[in-house]
């Protein structure tokens, strides 16, 4: 490998290796340390602090899906901010203006959804 290539992607590779290693250590520690006694109480379904009752095929409000989509939208938006922050020094004013336009477009989408009532939980 070229040393210049490693200079660019070495920190990313190190972060990937460390995050995979930490995930593996946590799963292994949970398997070793955790209690594994099965019981009737542990085998019962549990959601949101309430015992489930009725049919599992009840219709779910579309509001839950809207919130999920909004979360994904803004989570992906945050992912695009990381590479921009890394090369901000190289881009100077052009990079700032481009990211400002990107954030303005996302903010317009957020305001549109807000006005449409996608975030209103009262209805």
Secondary-structure percent of the chain, ordered helix, strand, coil, rounded to 5? 70, 0, 25
Selection from 13, 23, 123 nearest residue 63 by Cα: 123
Positions in the chain whose pLDDT score sits under 70: 1-3, 46-52, 56, 123
Q: Does the pTM of the predicted model rise above 0.85?
A: no
Q: How far is CA 88 from CA 14, 80, 81, 96, 105, in A?
A: 22, 12, 10, 7, 20
Kindly list the structural domains of the chain, giving each domain's residue range(s) and its CATH number in brackets, ordered by start.
3-116 (1.20.58)
């Amino acid at each position: 490998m070229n040393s210049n290539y490693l200079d660019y992607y070495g920190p990313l590779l190190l972060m990937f290796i460390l995050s995979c290693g930490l995930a593996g250590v946590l799963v292994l520690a949970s398997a070793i340390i955790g209690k594994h006694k099965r019981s009737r109480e542990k085998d019962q379904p549990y959601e949101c602090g309430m015992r489930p009752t009725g049919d599992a095929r009840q219709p779910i409000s579309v509001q839950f899906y809207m919130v999920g989509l909004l979360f994904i939208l803004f989570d992906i938006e945050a992912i695009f901010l990381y590479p921009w922050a890394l090369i901000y020094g190289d881009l100077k004013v052009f990079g700032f203006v481009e990211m400002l336009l990107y954030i303005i477009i996302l903010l317009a989408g957020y305001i549109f959804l807000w006005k449409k009532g996608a975030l209103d939980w009262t209805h």
